[in-house]
Amino acid sequence: MKKILKGLTVIVLFVVACQPASDNVAQKSSASNSYAADTAKSMYAVSYKKAKREMDRYKKVTGKIFGPDSVVRAWTIRSVDLLEAMGMPVEHPIQAKYKYVRIYMGMKKDSTIKLFLTPVEGAKLSHHPPIAGKDVILSGPYDGVEDDEVGEGDGDYLLDFSSPCPTTCP
């Protein structure tokens, strides 16, 4: 589990660097600007229950517009592609436990689109047809965002991979 969290922390740090911090998160992270401070617990996580609610809302709303069978609700991505996008050498990849991650679409009550990240085991996109694999729901302590307030949690969670443009992009 620690290896998973370390690997995902690298991905989360990339996303976090591109998003503006809320006042609560800024206060919490301003005490220490070191990498070690961000590796203890996931700081950008939401309970599985909340993420599932927001994923279901997205599916319901977009299903009404596009039809329930034509809605893209998630992407399965090779972990090495994420690492390469962050500038990490792919010829000497870190030893990742999971070769794939899945990013799910979600929607808050105010219609803000959200992205949630979770590892996937057993997937194989190069297979014909592709093998979907199974989501790995992270579990344990986390400092996350629940109902837009930073707090501590323990249990099943997904990483909150949200930083929508135009506010976070050039």
Mean pLDDT by 10 residues, the chain (170 residues): 39 34 33 43 80 94 88 91 82 76 93 92 92 92 67 82 76
Question: Is pTM, for the whole model, over 0.95?
Answer: no
pLDDT, position 117: 93
| DSSP conformation class of 158 | E
Which amino acid belongs to residue 63? G
Q: Give the three-class secondary structure for 44.
A: coil
pLDDT, position 116: 94
| DSSP conformation class of 129 | S
How far does CA 130 lie from the centroid of its chain? 22
Q: Give the three-class secondary structure for 23.
A: helix
pLDDT, position 146: 65
Domain boundaries, the chain: 2-160
Measure the N-to-C terminal CA separation of the chain; round to a whole number of Å.
35
pLDDT, position 44: 76
pLDDT, position 92: 65
pLDDT, position 69: 82
pLDDT, position 118: 94
